[in-house]
Structure 1
Amino acid sequence: MKEKLAINGGPKAVNKEFLWPIFDAGDVNAVTRIAQSGKWGNPDCGDEVAKFEEEFAAYCGAKYAITCVNGSVSLRLALIACDVKPGDEVIVPPYTFITTASSVIECNCVPVFVDIDPNTYNISPAAIEAAITERTKAIIPVHFGGLACDMDAIMDIARKHGLRVIEDAAHGHGAEYKGKKLGSIGDVGSFSFQSSKNLTSGEGGIVITNDDELYAMMRSLRNVGRIEGGQWYDHYNPGCNYRITQIQAVLLSQQLKRLEAQTRKRNDNGLYLNHLLSKVKGISPLSRNEAITLHCYHIYIFKYDPAAFGGLSRNDFAAMLTAEGVPSFKGYPHPLYKQPLFQNKNFMCYAIPDHVDYTQVYCPNAEQACSSDAVWILQHALLGEKEDMEAFVNAILKIQTSQL
C-alpha cells in the first residue's frame, strides 16, 4: 500500500528540525562583551575586525583579508582593484546569484555569460576560452554550492590571455581544491557572510588575496578611499564606507572556530548521500572528482529525471520533498541573463555597448538546470546525522512510489 504524501496530509518522512545558525554561550558572551563596551564601530573603536581578518586569511592560506558589508560589495571591490575599465568584458556563469553579474554592471563593465558544465553546474572552461575577446579583462568563476570549479584549467586560460581571476566563493567557505582553500587560488577570493551562508554574521563579506597592490586598493576602497599612513580626512580612491562592525567581527571569529568541523561533516554527509542516491533511479548527484579534496556543500544538488517518477514535474517533486520535511528547493527559475535587469538592459550606467543584447543569449545547460533538472538540499540539513541522510532518501523513494 502506498504511503500518503505529506503534501496531501500524510505523515512526514523527516521529522527533525535542522536549525541555522548554530550558536552557543560563547557567541552570546562575545557579542555581549562588545555591546557592553560601547565600542561598536570600525576602525576607531577596537581591533576585533583586524583580528578576524587575520584569522580568516590564515584559515584560507592567504596573505591578506579585507572585510566589507556584504558579498556583493566584496565582488565590486575586487573588480575595481583588478583595474577594470568602463566597457571591459567580464566572463561570468548564468547559474548563480544575481550579484555575480550585477557587480560587473555596477563597475560599468559588460557581463559575458558562458554556459555551465552539466555534470557540475560550474562554469565551463571550454566555454570561457570560446568567449574571450580583446575586451575581456577578468573571469569570475563561481564555486557553486561549494563545489570547486576546475581551477587548473581556468588559471591556465587566465595566464594565457593575461586575465584576472576573481573567485566567487560565496558558497565556498572551508572547501578545498587539491588541498587549497577556495578563494586562495585566483587573484582575489570573494566571500559572503549573509544569513544562509556556512559562515555567517547575518550580513557581511570579505575578500582575500596574496597580492600587495590588490590588498592596498581593496582596503582603501572599503574605507572611503583612505590609504594606510594617510590622514583621516585624506581620500585617494573612489571608495565608500563598506566597513563592518566590531559585533559582526567578534561573532564571525566565534563562528570560525566551528567551521572546519562543520565543513568536514557536510563533506562526509554529502559523500554518503551520493552513495545512497546513486542507487535511486532518476536521481543523479552532481559529479565530484579527486581534485575536490573537501566539499562544503552549501547546497547539495542532484539532477532529477521525471521519467523515473511517472512524469512528475521537477517543480511538483520539489514541493513534495519540502512537504516531507527535507530542507530543499527547486533552485533558480531561470538563468541570470533572463532576469528583467538584463533583458531590459536597465543598467543605469553608460558603458554597455548598444550591440550587447541579452535577449539573444542562450546557455542550454543552464536552461535545463533551471527549467527541469536541479533540486537543492540546503546546507544546514547536511549537518545532520547519517540517519537523517537516510531519511532524505526515504522521502524521495516515498514520492517515487506514490507516482508509479
Structure 2
Amino acid sequence: MEQNVIDSLAINGGAKTIIRSFPWPVYDESDVQAVADIVRSGKWGDPDCADRVEAFERAFADYCGTRYAVTCVNGSVSLRLALMACGVKPGDEVIVPPYTFIATASTVLEVNCVPVFVDIDPDTYNLDPAAIEAAITERTRVIVPVHFAGQACDMDAIMAIARRHKLRVIEDAAHGHGAEYRGRKLGSIGDVGSFSFQSSKNLTSGEGGIVVTNDEALYRMMASLRNVGRIEGGQWYDHYNPGCNYRITQMQAVLLSQQLKRLEEQTRIRDANGRLLNELLSGIDGITPMRRDLGETLHCYHLYMFRYDPAAFGQLPKQRFVEMLAAEGVPCSAGYPHPLYRQPLFQQKNFMCYAIPETVDYSQVYCPVAEQACRDEAVWIFQHAMLGTAADMELFAEAIRKIQRVVA
C-alpha cells in the first residue's frame, strides 16, 4: 500500500473527516436566568421550599405518561429506591444484564440482594427474554431490564414473564429519556421506571435522578425513602421508613424543567439521524447496526451502537479501529472492556453485605454474547453527536469507509 494512502488517516497526520464539534449540554440564556432567579430568591432547598421540584416532578410524570414521579440525587439512588419500595428482602435475587453500568447491579448488593446476570441479545445488547426464564428461581423477585443506549427492551416478552412468575419489573431507563416502546415512553411500562440526570445523559442537570410509577403504594414509599423516611401529612420529626436525604435542589429542578422543553425535539432529531446512519452503515462490509424492529417506536440514541467485525478491516483490533475513528472526528468509544460480572467487586466478592450466600460465585459466570460485545464488536457513538445534521451522519459513515480502504 502506498504511504500516502496510509498517511491519509487522521491518526497518521492526515486531514480529519469531521472538523466540527458537538457541544453538550445544550443551553441558552433562559437556562442561566432560571437558575439565577432561584439563586437570588434564596429559596434553594427542599423540603422548606420545594415548589420547583414538585413542578418538575409533575411535568416529567406527564411527559412519561405516569401518575407519579419522585426526584432524587442520582440515577443509582433511584434504582435503590425502586428496589426497596418493591419489597425485596435480604438474599432475594434480582435479574440484571451484564452489559450495563455498575449501578444496575451494585444497587442490588446495597439492598442485600443477589444480582443474577442474564446474557444479552446479540442484535440489541439488551436482556435476552429467552434467557430470563431459565434464570428464575424461587428466590427471584425483580427483573431489571436496561434500555441500553436508548434501545427499548422487548417489554412485551419481559412483562409476560414477570406476570407469569409474579415478579416486579424495574426499568433502568438511565439511557432512555424520551424513547418509546409501542407508543409508550420508556419507564412507564414496568412497575417503576428509573432515570439518571448525570452529565452525559440526554436530559441532564449535572447530577440527579428520578423514578416514575403508576402504583400509588410504590410512589408513597419511594417518596418517603427519598425524604428521610417521612410521610405525606406527617410531622417533620416523624420518620416512618429507613430513608435518607436523597432530595435534589430547586436549582436542579428549574434547570431540568428548562431542559425538558427541548427533550422531545432532540429525541426526534437523534431518532432520525439514527435511522439514516443505519442505512448508511448497512452498506459497509463488517459494520452491522443494532436491530430496530422489536417494538421501539422512538429511539433516543443515548448511544448509537454498531457491531464491528475485525475480519472486514484486515483483523484490525476494535480498540485500534475506535482510536482511528475518534481521530477522524467522530465522538466514539469502544464501550465496556468486559462484562459487569468481571469487575473486581464481583470477582473478589467485596460485597459488605450479610445476606449474599457463600455459594454465590461470579467467577463461574460467563455470558458469551456480552463477552463478544466487549471484546470484539460493540462500538459507541455518543448522543451529542446524534444531534448533528444529516451531512454529519454522511461524514461518520465516510470516516469508517476511509479507515476500511486503508486497512482492509
Fold agreement, TM-score > 0.5? yes
Identity of aligned residues (%): 73
Quote the residue 2:59 is aligned against.
55
Q: How much does 1:307 deviate?
A: 0.9
| 2:221 maps to 1:214 | no
Q: Does 1:343 align with 2:352?
A: no
> Over the residues paired in the alignment, what is the CA RMSD in angstroms?
0.7
| SS at structure 1 position matched to 2:406 | helix
C-alpha separation in 2, matches of 1:287 and 1:273: 13
2:307 aligned residue: 303
Residue 103 of structure 1 and its aligned partner are, at CA, apart by 0.3
What SS does structure 2 have at the residue aligned with 1:293?
strand
Q: Quick one: which of 9, 28, 31 aligns to 1:27?
A: 31
State the shift of 1:45 in Å. Answer: 2.0
Distance across 1 between alignment mates of 2:305 and 2:59: 30
Residue 89 of structure 1 is matched in structure 2 by 93
Aligned with 2:298 (options 294, 297, 308): 294
Partner of 1:387: 391
SS of alignment partner, residue 107 of structure 2: helix
SS at match of 1:159: helix
Structure 1 residues not aligned, in runs of 5+: none
Is structure 2 residue 254 aligned with structure 1 residue 275?
A: no
Cα 1:290/1:336, change in 2 over 3 Å: closer
Deviation, 1:331, is: 0.2
C-alpha distance in structure 2 between counterparts of 1:65 and 1:122, whole Å: 25
The corresponding residue for 1:402 is: 406
Whole-angstrom CA distance in 2 between matches of 1:7 and 1:234 = 62
1:140 to 136, 139, 144: 144
Cα distance in structure 1, aligned partners of 2:314 and 2:61:
50
User: For the Cα contact (< 8 Å) 2:154–2:294, is it kept in 1?
Assistant: no
Query: What is the CA–CA distance in structure 1 between the aligned matches of 2:194 and 2:267, rounded to whole Å?
Result: 18
Distance 1:371 1:290, change over 3 A: closer
CA contact (8 A) 2:170 2:191 kept: yes
Which of 103, 120, 126 is 2:124 aligned to? 120
Name 1:330's counterpart in structure 2.
334
Rounded to whole Å, the distance in 1 between the matches of 2:314 and 2:326 is: 19
Q: TM-score of the superposition, structure 1-length normalised? A: 0.99
CA drift of 1:4 comes to 1.6
The residue type equivalent to 1:157 in the other structure is: I
CA separation of 1:91/1:46 partners in 2, compared to 1, >3 Å: closer, same or farther? closer
Q: Give the counterpart of 2:321 among 317, 324, 330.
A: 317
Deviation at 1:46, TM superposition (A): 4.0
Instruction: Give the residue type in structure 2 aligned to 1:263.
Output: T
Q: CA deviation at 1:203?
A: 0.1
Aligned to 2:161: 157
2:281 & 2:403 partners in 1: Cα distance?
A: 14
TM value normalised by structure 2: 0.98
Which has the higher mean CA deviation after the structures are superposed, 87-96 or 9-18?
9-18
Q: Distance in 2 between matches of 1:309 and 1:92?
A: 33
1:254 equivalent to 2:272? Answer: no
Q: Offset at 1:299?
A: 0.3
**CA-to-partner distance for each residue in 1:248-271, whole Å, 9 max, x for gaps?**
000000000000000000000000
Runs of 4+ with >3 A deviation: none
2:19 aligned residue: 15
Using the TM superposition, give the Cα deviation of residue 290 of structure 1 relative to its aligned residue in structure 2, in angstroms.
5.5
Deviations 1:298-327 (A, max 9, x none): 000000011111111111001110111100
Q: Matched residue pairs, number?
A: 404
Separation in 1, partners of 2:321, 2:396 = 13
Partner SS for 1:300 = strand
2:241 corresponds in structure 1 to 237
Quote how far apart the aligned CAs of 1:9 are.
1.4
Q: Distance in 2 between matches of 1:379 and 1:245?
A: 26
CA distance in 2, matches of 1:300, 1:266: 9
Offset of residue 338 of structure 1: 0.1
The CA distance in 2 between the partners of 1:212 and 1:182, in whole Å, is 19
Aligned pair partner of 2:8 in 4, 7, 15? 4
CA distance in 2, matches of 1:147, 1:70: 21
Output one character per residue of 1:208-257: Cα deviation in whole Å (capped at 9) or x when no partner.
Answer: 00001000000000000000000000000000000000000000000000
For the Cα contact (< 8 Å) 2:328–2:399, is it kept in 1? yes
Structure 1 residue 64 displacement after superposition: 0.1
Match of 2:298, SS state, is: coil
CA distance in 2, matches of 1:269, 1:188: 29
3-state SS of 2:246 partner: coil
